[in-house]
Amino acid sequence: MFDNWEELEQSIKDCKKCKLNGGRTNIVFGVGNREADVMFIGEGPGADEDKEGIPFVGKAGQLMDKAFEGLGINRENVYIANIVKCRPPQNRVPEKDEAVACLNYLRNQVILVKPKIIVLLGSTALKNILGDEHSITKERGIWADKKGIIYLPTWHPAALLRDENKKIEFWKDLKLLKNLAEEKNLKI
Ligand code: URA
Ligand code: SF4
């Protein structure tokens, strides 16, 4: 673990710790406020993210941005990262060995950011952070306090593109996030 961003970023630069390294154009490390109170964790880069090296800039990200805008959440105030930093082929779900190989970078990011709230976007984020026994269908919208961090699981924004109902629930969950943050005087 590194106690500063420079060394952490340096350590990931030529990472070949898992087989996803072969298909990437850019490592998608993370973006946003490095002192954020609220952190979002997604699954892994898609084609647009791979091209730009920035998380959530494609269709799903734009939908999330729209929700942010509507609810008064400022993307610049939060920090956004993914379970894996390199694009899985055909956007498939990251395999266990890939997630395990990459997770230490994310853990280090969490240690440096010190968020008060972590929003888990979709099943991959939920299972890799809180454990495989968790279910996004059962637990979305329900926040849990674990060792001083509040975790809020919700749908992955890509799921909203296919399901109008999930869009409504996603908005509801972000509204809950916004209220929770304001109640606790957190930057959002
Ligand atoms: N989906 C993710 O999980 N992360 C991104 O950065 C983009 C799409
Ligand atoms: Fe390294 Fe993570 Fe990329 Fe795998 S996904 S090569 S562990 S940075």
Q: 122 C-alpha vs ligand 1 centroid, how far in Å?
A: 10
Q: Is residue 188 part of a domain?
A: no
pLDDT at 62: 97
Atom of ligand 1 nearest to the CA of 60: 8
Handedness of CA 171, 68, 36, 135 (dihedral sign): positive
What is the 50 CA–ligand 1 centroid distance (Å)? 10
> pTM score > 0.95 for this model?
yes
The tens-digit pLDDT sequence of the chain (188 residues) is 999 999 999 999 999 999 999 999 999 999 999 999 999 999 999 999 999 999 999 999 999 999 999 999 999 999 999 999 999 999 999 999 999 999 999 999 999 999 999 999 999 999 999 999 999 999 999 999 999 999 999 999 999 998 999 999 999 999 999 999 999 999 99
**pLDDT tens-digit series, residues 120-167:** 999 999 999 999 999 999 999 999 999 999 999 999 999 999 899 999
Query: Which pLDDT belongs to residue 18?
Result: 98
Q: In this structure, is residue 163 part of a structural domain?
A: yes
Is 171 domain-assigned?
Answer: yes
User: If DSSP states are collapsed to H, E and C, what string results for 145-157?
Assistant: EECCEEEEEECCH
Please work out whether the CB of residue 27 comes within 6 Å of at least one atom of ligand 2.
yes
What is the Å distance from ligand 1's center to 128 Cα?
A: 15
Q: What is the CATH number of the domain that holds 100?
A: 3.40.470.10
Q: Answer whether residue 33 is part of any domain.
A: yes
Which residue range forms the structural domain that includes residue 163? 5-183
Report CA(54)–ligand 1 centroid distance (Å).
9
- What local confidence, expressed as pLDDT, does residue 169 receive? 98
Percent of the chain with pLDDT over 90: 99
3-state secondary structure of 144: strand
**Rounded Cα gap, residues 5 and 108, in angstroms:** 9
The reported pLDDT for the residue numbered 171 is: 97
Which residue has the CA at smallest separation from atom 3 of ligand 2?
Answer: 86
What's the total number of domains in the chain?
Answer: 1
CB 9 within 8 A of CB 105: no
Of 93, 83, 101, 99, whose CA–CA distance to 29 is shortest?
A: 83
Tracing tokens 């154009």 back to the chain, one arrives at: 25
DSSP secondary structure of 35-62: T-SEEEEES---HHHHHHT-SS-SHHHH
